[in-house]
Amino acid sequence: MSLIQAHNSTDPSISYQELLEYEGKYEYVSGSTLKIMASSMDTTLYAVIDKAKYPLYHVKDDSFTNIDDTPVIFQRNDQDIINGYTVNGQLFELITTDIEKLVMYPRKELFNHPEDYTYQIPKRTNDGLEVRNINNAFEKPGLIKKMVKQTIKGKYPDVHSILIYKDNTLVLEEYFYGYDINTQHQLRSATKVFIGSLVGLAIEAGAIGSEQDQLLPYFKDEYKSFDHMGKQKKSITIQDFLTYRHGLDCENNNPESEGNEQQMMESADWVKYTLDLPVVHQPGEVSSYCTGAALTLGRLVELATDKPLEEFADEHLFKPMDITNYDWRFDPDSSSRQTFSQMYLQPRDLVKLATMYMNGGKWQGKQILPENWARKTFEVYTSEFGYLWEHKYFVIDGKQYNSYMASGNGGQKINIWPDYNMITVFTGGSYNSYELYGKSTPPNYMIPKYILPALD
């Protein structure tokens, strides 16, 4: 059963032609806009924000629900034409029906006959990545080619790219849904691991003493005081935030946590909100995944270096690696509610960055990240985390495959597999859809089913 079939949202009582009636650009929260688009591939209506699409499930007549089961009710004028929608009683008006639509098929020309897919060696460019045939890199390359065909036929929805770098060469590079080699892709929470890199670079530059320093003194000029202040909060170190052992009431996956991501995003200043949280564990002991911790580290680098984080990153990380086609606006406050202060990078540049980590901080013989920082980044501080990177493993037929992973909402996955000299990169658009995929996203099915078995 495919993932589409497993969470089939199509309603046989409504057709694609009927869904087209709702398409358009509409008002959205805080003066922003969104687009409503219909997909003929799965007969589903989607709300689209910053190229991220979120399904709307048809209930009856002009009534839909979003993924949180919140009713979305479309409104009609006296001529029976759609002119807006309401959510929780708030009306958002239609602005125009003239919109540029997203590509809704993985590859429309092959959708009905994916068996016609032919593997191609990745293109050789001037980005420094060597390429070769996947047949020379895997014992069972047919499994990986099958994975691509299954993606083309829609079994793994909204996978935008798959790249595999093995034994210092790029052996697979496939794009879907209109994405290509030059497309910047949003990283969501995968951005966090690169903030960790910038902390290391700020330490190397002498702007920060060390990760063993207490964190709060770096913010004393920015914020004059902090809520719930006490001995435990004073003891929090930079390393505690790097390893998510902050001790604060901050856990993204816990809706009851005062510092979970949604609660934080309702505040004006996300860093101040995080630092004001109460302490619920002794810092340095218990890991708890918290978006505010990574954003606070980004602001720490800004305060310590007296530079915008984007400028510091460009000077010390991106330019030295010849990474130029990217976008990043780091503003950890309410102005980023739609963009989350995330990076937008090309998938090939994600491969380059992961390669730099795997090679002890070096890229093409040049030391980008201090070697000791690269090493410390992947040490085991808890069962789950190094320095913002997650320790991720799969067990297949009793054999454990270990990796370091950067992960972001929607299926952004960067995995470094040191035992196999391999990097896998996925980008995707399965945003806020974890429950639809059995608490996961497509790459977490595809990696253990196709890529890892192809190694042996």
Give the model confidence (pLDDT) of 135-172 as tens digits: 999 999 999 999 999 999 999 999 999 999 999 999 99
Stretch (H or E) spanning 291? helix 291-305
pLDDT at 277: 98
Task: List the beta strands (DSSP E) in 359-442.
Answer: 362-363, 366-367, 390-396, 399-408, 412-417, 422-428
pLDDT at 178: 97
pLDDT at 433: 60
243, 381 contact by CB (below 8 A): yes
Alpha helices in 116-157 (DSSP H): 141-152
CA gap 170, 347 in Å, rounded: 12
Of 106, 96, 77, give the one whose Cα is nearest residue 23: 96
What domains appear along the chain, each with residue ranges and CATH number? 6-96 (2.40.128.50), 108-183+346-451 (3.40.710.10), 189-321 (3.40.710.10)
Q: Which two tokens stand for residue 251?
A: 């856990």
pLDDT at 68: 86
Mean pLDDT by groups of 10 residues along the chain of 456 residues? 41 90 96 96 94 93 94 98 97 98 96 97 97 98 98 96 98 98 97 98 98 98 96 98 98 95 96 98 97 98 98 98 98 92 98 98 97 96 94 97 97 98 96 59 96 97
Query: What is the full DSSP assignment across 6-61?
Result: HT----TTS-HHHHGGG-EEEE-GGG-EEEEEEETTTTEEEEEETTEEEEEEEEET
pLDDT at 6: 37
* β-pair partners for 405: 390, 415
CA gap 274, 260 in Å, rounded: 9
pLDDT at 4: 37
Residue holding tokens 């460019």?
125
